[in-house]
A and B are shown apart, each in its own frame.
Chain A
Amino acid sequence: MAKVRADAKPITLTVDGIDVTVPEGTTVLDAAKEAGIFIPYLCAHPALRPWGACRMCMVEIENARGVPTACNTPVAANMVVHTNTPQVLKLRRNVMELILTEHPIGCLTCHKRDQCGPQETCLRSVAVDFRCVTCPANYRCELQMNCDYVGLDEMAMPVRAKNIPLRKDPLIALDWNLCIVCGRCVRVCDEVRTRSVYAIVDRAGKTMIDTAEGAPLEEAGCIFCGACVDVCPVGAIEERRNRFAGVADSTTESVCQYCSDGCAFRLEQKRGTVIRVGPIWEADVNGGQYCIKGRFGVAEPISSTARLLKPLVRKDGRLVETSWNEALDLVARELAARAGDQIGVIGSVRTTNEASYLLQKLARLVLRTPHIDTTGRLGDAAGLLGMQQVLGVGASTVLHDAISETSCILLAGNNLSHTSPITAMKLLQAVRPQVKVPSNTGYFSYLPDTSVREAPRPKLIVIDPRAIEPTHYADLWLRPKPGTDRVVLGAMLKVILDEGLTTLATSTATVKGVEDLQESLAPFTLDEAERISGVPAEQIAEAARLYATSGPAIAIFGRGLTQQRDGTAAVAALCSLAVLTGNVGKPNAGVLFPVGANNTRGAFDLGLLPEYLPGYEPADSEAARQRLEDAWGGPIAARGGLTLHEQLDAARSKRLTAMYIVGANPAQSAAEGTRVREALEALDFLVVQDLYLTETAKLADVVLPAASFAEQDGTFTNAERRVQRVRKAVSPLGESRPDWEILVELAGRLGSTAFQFVHPIEIFDEIARVSAIHAGMSYDRLDDGPLAWPCLTADDPGAEVLFTDGAAFNLPPLDPPVAGNSPAGYPLLLGLTSSFQHFATGTQTRLVRQYAHFQSEDRVELHPDDAAAAGIADGALATVTTPHGVARLRARVTPEQRVGTAAVTINFPESGVGSLFGPDRDPGAKSPVFKAVPARVSPV
């Protein structure tokens, strides 16, 4: 629909005798909707710009020529609109007949359709592929509804069967025989997703939607986001899985469980199983857009046969099914015997806030252990701590929507298209080439000009050794040697300070440490930075100037930075850059931190890590500890908690004797793969709470089956700090139970009375009492939409932009730059990379059977030059060797990779990729190094 400017003036018009007042620029179609009057339409869509092609929405407007289409006619003062005059109704029926000459109509004009099922014998002898009752979209079809609305009971015109062969694309089933060429898929793919996979091909009677030369979707550039499936009004574009499952029994609004974008969607349930997810067009975060994981990868894993249905205990070396009572009693007995600091707790970045909060409460208050961490340590802890150092807050400082209004974007080390696809979509929408000739001159010239962005296209600077989608549109692409980002950022800081390009966003902000920082930057000369990073000096200087002088700028970072040896320092340098250029504390500028998983943010927020108590109270602050003890009514564990890898080291040395792991798979994802298994095997008692029998769960003494996100109520917090409601759509599979319920049961068996919860709403209320940043939130408020923390009081709208009232920033000095030296015999630098369809260790996404079409094993990616030097062909098996381990992987040779680098994915357990990474740690966050590891690759 037409985008309406915020400052538009109100216009009053009359629709079918009803006076309605709407902002200027609204279309007649939307105004009629506002007045409660339905106008049928097919090509219009809430996510798209008006098009005016299908002619279904024709109305009569007094004193206007002809019968204008309501979807692309803007309202005018005192306009008088008639939507159902005899002339309009007759014309609409004619239009519908014309549309139906190219669409199967067997059931559309049949009065018995509602009494007919797919198995019935048709009394009119209509062919099976010409019926509604055998169409995947039956009762979900907008054409059917429109047809019923205009009341078409016979067709005067002949109908042509198109007989276009079906296609074999994965995930998306295309049946052009059902297509009415409304163009919605073409437009959503271009306007919203910037992919343009579909085009309207050929003309006149032969017009049809297709890819160039009918190529398979994958070759045509499709990212399988499913936007075309969601906008298609008929059954032409459908999700292949459950295509014929029909209409859902009920739908529930919830939030996606994969990445930290936190997209809201509808879970469609039929007979107790989630059959598909559907879009919420008015969703605040994502506006009805999803990615391959969220659109096609949610329903299958949660109803998979791989789910654990009963608790398992180890008897005679084997895991056997048991009852909840026996399992929980055993866990309580074993943990009680070791309470104190013999127990390590590893929480999940995927469970709800309520479960995360209860887990750390159980650890600190009942198990009395400070050793609490999550697998967020593997990628995001360095980001959190680096941002905390400089800004005092370790989260995105503005909503990610700011990307579309900013003037400059600095993207450092994050392949957004894989890790946060909706943030990537917002970025690509902003930076892709704009249509210079406005497309609505001429015929649509009376519409407000919405096709051209009001803000000028922002400048894009990418710092990434790898060619990623945004580099295609980058104004400046710095391609450093892996592991040298801190040096590049240091040199940019030096340019900005030396050239006096500094400014402050607000007069109330104070900045400490500028002199010390400047002093420490002396060795970061452009020449030195060029020598170490391989990025030309002038590019570094130009990037610094562009970032400092373009206006409001957004900096985005990711695991490319945080998984380096000096990840924490690199993130701190990036934040210093933002502070010094005045890009923190004002709208459309800031630092974005797209964390790894759906609730990594929430796990950090609620103290599921050794450094912080809930609400980012420092774990060693006496006052904070006292407040928490008062709130919980008991003493909490001592200071000095161990991080993930420290815990595993302690397990190996028998300092920890038991571990409680919830929804995490360190046996596959952590560095030092084989040694992690040793550590877990060395434990006397290991409890794993998970949905599936992961590599980690296979080592456990007790496995507790947890319920999926679709089977419980709760909240997730996305990377933007927005807390959103997760709602129960179906009952837990088998005997599995929600994480919070298991923790409540266990705490009761351990003799605690501080876990008297019967519903997550009570846990959330306690979170609001304990954590100051959540104080103003409640389920009631969250039902109206997401709230961003800090939200301090019940009428606080939440802070969408941080630091607007000033803040105290603290810029730490940088350690001198050092060039990394690889040991002899390791010519390549190896890093971890992501794949676009698999998430984390792939435990869930591997269960989506059709993803095997894209990738069915882990792989090593190499530049053609390096592959040629090593004698490895594309698709051949290769042995990857690092000083820490060996893995045998299939090679993918691609120029996306920088010369001298290799990348591996970590989505499949059998490949043993984890063992390639060693005991090196980033001193700041004590997190393992997954980037710039010396390696060599040889043919098998």
Chain B
Amino acid sequence: MSRATAAELAALLEPFEGQKGATIDALKQVQARYGYIPEEAIDAVAETLGVSRNTVFGVITYYEFLKLEPPARHTIRYCMGTTCDALGGREILQEITSILGIRVFEATPDGTWHLERLPCFGTCSLAPMMQIDDEAHTKLTVEKVRRIFAERLPGEPAPIAGDGMPAPSEQLVKELEA
């Protein structure tokens, strides 16, 4: 992720010069380019549009899709549905947070992992489950979670196939059909 340079931002925001009403459009452009709103872009947007830095910050914090943090390289989506929970999901989630040293909806300081919680994947037969990016990891136990992250930590070695399940959606469909 490159840092935003003044020249880049100037070019990006040029069409919005002096347009107080275009704050959201300008921020969307910035986010599309960098994946998030870098600190220096807040100043640039404020300066170019003629609004205050505080107003821009207020807009960013209002909209969920506008991010102040750079996106993590890997997103963990952990299921918080009833079945996963009943099958020990809470202990497993606690294990993940202690391994990564972050809480839910936070990213690790090095920007590798972002932990999210989703209501339900609708695959209770495979509970407890989580997704790392597009890979599904099913029928989790504390042991299994330790193994998954032991292979991946530190850094991010070559992707591993979760449970030997390549494309999760197809796999899930198959399993469910079976």
Contacts and interface: CB of A to CB of B under 8 A. Distances in A.
Nearest to B58: A199
Contacts of A199: 52, 54-59
B57 A195 contact: no
Contact of A198 (B21, B22, B42, B54): B54
Contact of B19 (A196, A210, A436): A436
Interface in B1-59: 18-22, 42, 49-59
A906 B136 CA distance: 71
Interface stretch (A320-328, A427-435, A751-759): A427-435
Interface string A463-491: 00000000001000000000000000000
A433 B49 contact: yes
A435 B21 contact: yes
A436 B21 contact: yes
A436 B22 CA distance: 9
A325 B117 CA distance: 85
Contacts of B57: 199, 201, 211-213
Contacts of B50: 432-433, 473
Contacts of B94: none
A220 B53 contact: yes
A203 B54 contact: no
Contacts of A201: 57-58, 61-62
Nearest to B62: A203
A211 B61 CA distance: 12
Nearest to A195: B52
Contacts of B51: 196, 433
A196 B21 contact: no
A436 B52 contact: no
Given A211-B54, A212-B53, A212-B56, A203 B61 contact: yes
Contacts of A203: 61-64
Nearest to A209: B58
A436 B58 contact: no
A218 to B, nearest CB: 13
Interface string A420-450: 0000000000001111110100000000000
Nearest to A196: B52
Contacts of B64: 203
B20 A436 contact: yes
B36 to A, nearest CB: 15
A190 B55 CA distance: 9
Contacts of A202: 61-62
A196 B61 contact: no
Contacts of A734: none
Contact of A435 (B20, B53, B61, B63): B20
Interface string B48-86: 011111111111011110000000000000000000000
B102 to A, nearest CB: 20
A118 B61 CA distance: 38
A221 interface: yes
B46 to A, nearest CB: 9
A200 interface: yes
Secondary structure type dominating chain B contacts: helix
Nearest to B63: A203
A195 B52 CA distance: 7
Nearest to A212: B57
A236 interface: no
A434 B20 CA distance: 7
A221 B47 CA distance: 13
Interface string B130-173: 00000000000000000000000000000000000000000000
A126 to B, nearest CB: 32
Interface string B104-136: 000000000000000000000000000000000
A146 B100 CA distance: 50
A437 B24 CA distance: 13
Contacts of B53: 212, 220-221
A433 B23 CA distance: 13
Nearest to A473: B50
B21 A197 contact: no
Interface string A178-215: 00000000100010000111111111000000111100
A196 B53 CA distance: 8
Nearest to B52: A196
Contacts of A221: 52-54
A224 to B, nearest CB: 15
A186 B49 CA distance: 18
A200 B62 contact: yes
B62 A212 contact: no
Nearest to A199: B58
Contacts of B61: 201-203
A186 to B, nearest CB: 8
B62 to A, nearest CB: 5
A303 B136 CA distance: 73
Contact of A196 (B42, B54, B62): B54
Contacts of B56: 199, 212
A433 B18 contact: yes
B55 A439 contact: no
B168 to A, nearest CB: 31
Contacts of A186: 58
B20 A196 contact: no
B54 A212 contact: yes
A206 to B, nearest CB: 9
A196 B55 CA distance: 6
A191 to B, nearest CB: 12
Contacts of A197: 52, 54
A213 B42 CA distance: 11
Contacts of B52: 190, 195-197, 199, 220-221
Given A195-B52, A212-B42, A200 B58 contact: yes
B75 to A, nearest CB: 22
A444 to B, nearest CB: 15
A436 B20 CA distance: 7
A186 B61 CA distance: 15
A211 B56 CA distance: 10
A202 B57 CA distance: 9
Nearest to B51: A196
A221 B51 CA distance: 12
Nearest to A203: B62
A198 B54 CA distance: 6
Q: Which interface residue of A186, A196, A202, A439 has the most chain B CB atoms within 10 A? A: A196
Nearest to A434: B20
Contacts of A190: 52, 55
A661 B131 CA distance: 84
A432 B51 CA distance: 9
A755 B19 CA distance: 63
Nearest to B53: A212
A197 B57 CA distance: 11
Interface in A828-872: none
Contacts of B49: 433
Nearest to B56: A212
B54 A437 contact: no
B24 to A, nearest CB: 11
Nearest to A200: B58
A451 to B, nearest CB: 10
B40 to A, nearest CB: 13
A217 to B, nearest CB: 10
Given A202-B62, A203-B61, A433 B20 contact: yes
A200 B59 CA distance: 8
A203 B42 CA distance: 19
A201 B53 CA distance: 12
Q: Which interface residue of B50, B61, B62 has the most chain A CB atoms within 10 A? A: B61
B118 to A, nearest CB: 19
A374 to B, nearest CB: 40
Q: Would you list the 10 A-B pairs with minimal beta carbon distance, nearest first?
A: A199-B58, A196-B52, A433-B50, A212-B57, A437-B21, A199-B54, A212-B54, A435-B20, A202-B61, A196-B55
Given A212-B42, A221-B54, A433-B18, 9 more contacts: A190-B52, A190-B55, A196-B54, A199-B59, A200-B58, A201-B58, A202-B61, A203-B62, A212-B56
5 contacts: A197-B54, A202-B62, A220-B53, A435-B21, A436-B21
